[in-house]
Every structure is written in structure tokens, then in C-alpha cells.
Chain A
Amino acid sequence: MKIYNFKGGFHPADHKELSAGKKERELPLLPKYTVILRQNVGSAPELCVKKGDIVKKGTLIAKEGAGLSVPLHSPVSGRVGDTVLVPGPNAGMVEAVEILTDREEQVWDTSLPPIPDWRDTPVKILKQRILDGGVTGMGGAAFPTHIKLSPPPEKIVDTLILNGAECEPYLTSDDTLMRNHARAVLVGGAICAKILGITEIYVGIEENKPEAIQSVEQASWGIPGVNITVKALPVKYPQGGEKQLIYALTGRKVIVGALPMDVGCVVINVGSCYAIWDAVLNGHPLVERITTVTGTPVVDPGNYWIPIGAPLSAVLENAGGVKADSRTGKIIFGGPMMGFAQYSLDVPVSKNTSGILLLEESEVAQFTGGPCLSCGRCVEHCPMQLPVSTLSKACKNERYDIALQKHVLACLECGVCSSVCPARRPNVQHFRKAKTELKELSWKEKNKQK
């Protein structure tokens, strides 16, 4: 079967060996969890419990808000505490609710009954369950999954793509899920396919995860009703980018400004599939997730099942802390290419924390912004084939008109151009600023017309 190889991209030293193939571990019960209210793209859910309420594991604590939103559940059994402000994973202080545990018996809330016969269940009920389970994209953006599974009727979707590429260096959480829970992931995928009314499922996995490929392939034989094709993809970042993945698997190109559903594809992360399986077959809402805790300073790197709301400090303590001779320069939520740097150890884990990465001070990139040599490395490696060197200069000089002309809005923000730059220029950082400014400008123009 043909694999389409997208132009550009690169493969940095991925250090996946630090955490790959290790046994999944769990965190011991902590005295306090702080669950951030707004964990998804869109509006924040509305709190529906008050201080002192007794909650079980999986009890609804916040109903979905208006528009794009998902509900929120308690990660453990305990008492609801104060609503506090905590440092958020994307900087700034965010509202969160405390759940206090007093050595209560940990029991699941049973208000969501398991649906073992999902094949005979109406699509509407399944979709409602995914919403009730609070499932969001677990890869990065935390986009509500039930919206992704409801394409408008005029868009014909024929292919479901399960994203197991995990192209970010260091991270192995999706790899672990696919190795150990391949069947659950694929059943989750099959549920999505049923909701979309299609039978074609592609699983894209990078070649450097042979165990995951084997395990998913074996599991795919036991799931009737859908055609599951597992494809090994070339190892290069950003293979897991939505547009790149669709191209690699189907040869379809998502045009600039369009959505995957415009070419008949829906892309779902394997972590979200696992959460869908858990919500449908077990009736467990999304209250914990598998997260890679890794990096050279970490004593005991590996993949941990972490309840949503567990603070970073507790996670690191359970991973053995940092080595005595290390000097941690950066703590990142997510991968090293697109993750967010943290400044506090009080940040709680949220639904899209796919990894917690610690970097030595010497490993941290410094963007000193030297003069551009026009070497063309950025242009050569850009997965979107943007004229990065000229675009970056235009954005730096705030010539957003030129930037718009040169398709700055097509930028994925994957960060390859900054990573490979010999002059250490912050290219993608300029593009982010330009994109924000351009969005603001277009809003202003729209408002003027009104």
C-alpha cells in the first residue's frame, strides 16, 4: 500500500527510549486535586457542585457550557473544596475547583451505565455518551470530540484516521496505549466510525514503534464490521500533523484554510479513542489519562496514569524527582516541539497533557536571533513549504500584508523552522504573533462592516 511522503519535516534525536516499553504506573492517592474548569477549546463548563459536596470518582462537577464545550468530572472520590486560582498549563492563572480526599473509599460513580452492545445502540445515544464522558482531543488542542464526530450533512466523510504517529520527540504515551490497549483503542475507533456512518479506518503509526504496529495489527483482526488498515509511516516530525497525516495515508491534500472533513477525513488521536472506549463500554468519563513523564533529569521516567487535576509536583515526586547532579532548565507540558513551558510546580495535569518533559539547562534552545544566512534550511524543512526566511523577516518587521500574501496563515506552528535555524532565529514565534495580529485585524474589519 502506498505511503505518501510529505515534503519537509525533520527527525531530531527523539529520546523515546527513556520511557518507551516501560510498565504503566499509577499515582498513589493524593490529599488534594485541583481540577481546572476550562480544559477544552471553546467555552468553560459551569460548576454544578458546591463546597462540601461529597463526590465519587467520575461524578459530574461541571455541566457543559454554551456552544463548544464538554462537561467535567471529579477525578477521585472525596469532598468538593474551594474554587481557587491556579497557574494554568498555558500560562496565566485559571479557575479550578479543589477535590479533597480524606482516605475515602475510591468508588466509581455509576450514573453513566456501560453500553456493552454499542453496535445496536442508536448513533445519537453514542454521541451523547461521548459528550457526557467529557472526551476531548488528547493530543494537544483539546477540541471536543463529539463536535469532531458531527460533520455538517453536506460534508461527505469516508475515512476515519486514528492518529498514532506520535511524532513529538520524547513522548511515548500513545505508543504505550497502542502496545498495551490496542483493542480498546480500535473499539473506540470503531465506535467513532459507526457514529460517522463509515467503515474505513486507517491507523497511522510511525515506523519507530514496531511493537505498537504489531499489537494494533493483531487487535484489528478481532473487530468485525470495519476495515482497519494499519500503516507504518516514515519517522519524521510532524508526521502526526493533521494535514500531513491525511496526506501520508490517503494522498489527499487539505487545501490552505480548509478542514480535514473537506477531503472526507476525520482524524482522532488514539488517546481519545481509548477515552471513548472507556466512556462507552465501561461508563467511565474522562477523569484520568496516560502521560509520559520523561527527560534526562528525571530519575524514573515512564508512562503514568494520572488523574486529571493532580499537581505537577506530586507527579514529579512519584517519578522519583530529578537527579542530584541535574539542573532543570525547563518543564514542558506536551512535547519539546509544540509543548508549553511551565513556571510553577502547582500546575495541574489536564485532559490534553500528553507529556511532562524536563530538559537540562544545556538542552534548552536559545533563540538569539542572529542574522539570517539565507541558507534555506527552514524552507527545505517546512512541512507546509512556506518561504520561511522571507516570511520571518516580513513578520519581524510587522509587514503583515506581505505575510498574508505569503500564506502565513497556513503555518502549522510545528516549530521545525526555528529548531533547524543555524542563526537561531525565532521564526515560528514571529509567525504566531503575525497570525494573532492578522486574526485581530480581520475581526476588526468584520465589526466595521457591521
Chain B
Amino acid sequence: MTMSEENTVPHASAEEKQKVRLPETKNLILSPSPHIQVGPGSAKIMCQVIVCLIPAIIAAFVFFGLHALRVLVICTASCAAFEYLWCLAVKRKSTVGDFSAVLTGLLLGLNISSLTPAWVCIAGSFIAIIIAKQVYGGLGQNPFNPAAVGRIAMLMGASGAMTQYAVPRSVFFAPVADALTSATPLSMAESAAGMGKSLEYFNSSGFLWRAFTGEIAGSLGETSVLAVLIGGIGLMALRLIRWQIPVSILATVAIFVSLVNHFSPGTTPGVLFHLFTGGLMLGAFFMATDMVTSPVTVKGCIVFGVGIGLLVCVIRIYGSYPEGMSFAIVLMNALVPLIDKFCYIKPFGHQNIKAGRIEPRRGEIK
């Protein structure tokens, strides 16, 4: 069929053969399959996440001026420097090029106040990079989110300096001492509720709008919900995070807060207040979704998100701290290996055979 019965094609002439260039075998790479790769590499993923943080960085600059940039630059530079020095000390190839330390530095900076002294920033970076990440073996081995651990350590160790929050737009490049400071809405609400005052102000649309755009006191990246949401949508569009994590965190907080409001009104402000204030948005989109410290399966991600949402609410409403996002993330990070173990997916065809829709038919061809 394909070659005729009498196929007498002459051999290709020698002249024709010389024109044809054949691949050089000495250049050939020998390795087992697969031979092609798709998708971004680790460093590119880190860079994409950093790009998604840009709206939050711009918002921080708009509301807190040059102090915001000062804190971000110090945190980022010292995180990268500690990563480099650690690699130098343990005689390993420098891993600064994977941009994970830069990302940790940026997240750490966005998690603290614009008035944080430089030494606190540097100490926090040291804890985040060396103690929370490198001693475990570096990128991919750390059980806890480095930025969250760094922030918690700073909050514990320098709680005075860490709870000084500038009023937005109050200073641009004036010295720190001249800044107007204010408590965060979360702590104001907690003390108001503690004293039995009305919480109506925190549920007013004017306040909620300011909280959404970012005109409230707080950490650099936490105040503007709008900026974090833009970055978060970018993360989901680039498929850098599992959407299940932020969605389950936010949904859990919304449900829990509305239940509390329903059964004991006056304990805490409404759902939107809790969603728009504090580190919830930044934590849900950028911190909890850190690939290394979140579960690998979809089911696990939902369990993880629900756990964080519950812990945040419990700490905020019943705990002594006004904000608990970093605590919730670190606590749930500790459970990730367990979650992964129990949300283990069954391999294809592991369960009993399900009969398909075709009826078994047997017959002889006539």
C-alpha cells in the first residue's frame, strides 16, 4: 500500500548528501524523559509575587511617606544581607538570587509600622531569615512563615516600639518623633467593647470606606484593603496561590463574626470591620498562601484556611491581643504536615471499580 510493489528508487546521490547538515552528536544531551519544561521557575515565581506586592507598597508610600520606604528598604536589604552572610558562613552557594529573602523582607516591612526603629527592623530580619528559615535548611525547609515569625518576635521583644502607629498622611519626611500616633482601629474597638461603649462608629460606612482605601492607622501593608486586593487578584490570575486559602480564611472570619454578632451583640464590630482592618487581607493573600508553609492538596488548603480564620477571630475577639493574624498563621503552619497527612488524596483508581454507563455487551461479528 505505502510502498509500491516494485519500488526501485535509486540511492540518494553522494553530492546531495553533502549539502545536508546533520546534528553534531558531541553536543547531544543524554537524560531521561521528560525532555521539556513548562511554567515559571522558583525565582520567577518569587519575582511575580513581588510584583503583586507593588500596589501595597505604593499605598504604604502614599499614606506613610518616606518612612514607609525607609522601613521597607531596611527590611529588604537586611534580609538579603543575612541570607548572603549565612550562605557565606556555611560555605554554600548564595541563594539570594532566588529572591525568596527579598520577598520575606518586603512582607516583613509591610507587616510593621512606619515608625519602627531601624535596629528593630534589622533584628526582625535576622530572626526571619536566620532563625525561622536558614537553620531549618533554607528555602523549602522552613516549617513556619519567616515573615510572620519575624513580626511576632519583634512584637514580643519590642512591643513599645512596635505598637506606635502613625496617623496616615501625618508625616511625609519629618523625623519620627514629630509623627502623630494613634492606636489601630482593632485595639480601639477592643477597648471600646471592653468598656461597654457603643461600637456604632466602627460599623459606619464612612469609617469602613476609609478602612477599605487605607486611611487608618496600622502597619504599612495592612491598612489599604484595596491595594492588597489588587495584588491578591494578580496572584490568583497568575495562579501563584491557591484561591481556596484566602477565600476560606475570609469566609470563616465573616461567618464567625456574624455568629458572634448575632448571639452576643456589642462584643465586637461587624463583619466588614473585621475584614477591612488589621492584617487579615495581607495575611490571607500574601502570608498564609506562602507555598512552603501551606498544604499541597486543595482539601488541605481549605482546612488550613478555616483554621486560620477561626484562630484569628478567637484571638481578636476573646484574646488579649487586638490582632492575631501572624499568630494564627504560625499556629496553623505547625499543623501543615498533619493536614497534608490527613487530607491525603487517594490515587486514581484506588477505590472500587465503578461501573461505567456502557452496558456490557458481547456478540459475534456476523
Instruction: Name A residues whose Cβ lies closer than 8 Å to a Cβ of B.
Output: 2, 4, 6-8, 10, 12-13, 24, 26, 28-31, 57, 91, 103, 105-108, 119, 156, 158-159, 169, 184, 190, 193-194, 197-200, 225-226, 243-244, 247, 250-256, 258, 262-264, 278, 282, 284, 288, 290, 297, 305, 313, 316-318, 320-324, 327-332, 334, 336-345, 357-359, 361, 363-367, 370-377, 379-380, 383-387, 389-390, 407, 410, 413, 415-416, 418-420, 422-424, 428-429, 432
Contacts and interface: CB of A to CB of B under 8 A. Distances in A.
Contact of A288 (B2, B10, B11, B345): B2
Contacts of B293: 374
Contacts of B357: 2, 250-251
Interface in B1-35: 1-3, 5-12, 17, 20-25, 27-35
A200 B21 contact: no
Interface stretch (B68-76, B310-318, B347-355): B347-355
A29 B10 contact: yes
A170 B98 CA distance: 32
Given A199-B365, A317-B17, A424 B37 contact: yes
Contact of B348 (A338, A410, A423): A410
Contacts of B94: none
B91 interface: no
B356 A364 contact: no
B29 A225 contact: no
Interface residues of B, number: 74
B362 A198 contact: yes
Contacts of B354: 251-253
Contact of B340 (A184, A190, A342, A390): A390
B292 interface: yes
Given A251-B354, A252-B354, A422-B40, A345 B347 contact: no
**Interface residues of A, dominant DSSP:** loop
Interface of B: 1-3, 5-12, 17, 20-25, 27-42, 44-45, 98, 137-141, 242, 291-298, 340, 344-358, 360-366
B22 A330 contact: no
Contacts of B291: 373-376
Nearest to B240: A375
A256 B347 contact: yes
B22 A313 contact: yes
A247 B355 CA distance: 10
9 contacts: A2-B357, A26-B2, A225-B366, A250-B356, A252-B353, A343-B25, A375-B291, A422-B41, A424-B41
B10 to A, nearest CB: 7
Contacts of B29: 329-330, 341, 361, 364
Contact of A422 (B39, B138, B345, B365): B39
A263 B353 contact: yes
B20 A320 contact: yes
**Most interface-central of B298, B345, B358, B364 (chain A CB within 10 A):** B358
Nearest to A190: B365
Contacts of B365: 119, 190, 193-194, 199, 225-226
Contacts of A28: 9-12
Nearest to B365: A225
- 6 A-B pairs closest in CB distance: A415-B34, A371-B140, A251-B356, A328-B23, A321-B20, A376-B296
Given A29-B7, A305-B3, A419-B36, A374 B292 contact: yes
